[in-house]
Amino acid sequence: MINIFWYLPPLFLLVGLVYSGTKYDEWPAILRDAIWWQIRLLLFLSGLGLVVFLFSRFF
């Protein structure tokens, strides 16, 4: 059985690249914005996971 969560990091990376590619024309700007987008997404999902963990642990 394949765990579908292994597909999420490449999917997030591709979405970030496509999203950045729609805003910029040059590769350095696209990559810089895609990396920043990945950091924000990782922080948001980590915070959301922490909130869910805390609620499941204490309530």
So what's the pLDDT on residue 4? Answer: 84
**Gap between the Cα atoms of 16 and 36, Å rounded:** 9
Q: What residue has token string 């590619």? A: 21
Residue 19: helix, strand or coil by DSSP?
helix
So what's the pLDDT on residue 2? Answer: 80
DSSP, res 27: H
Q: What residue has token string 């040059």? A: 26
DSSP, res 22: T
Mean pLDDT of 19-29: 93
pLDDT digits 0-9 by tens, 28-55: 999 999 999 999 998 999 999 999 999 9
Other beta carbons within 10 angstroms of residue 2's beta carbon come to: 6
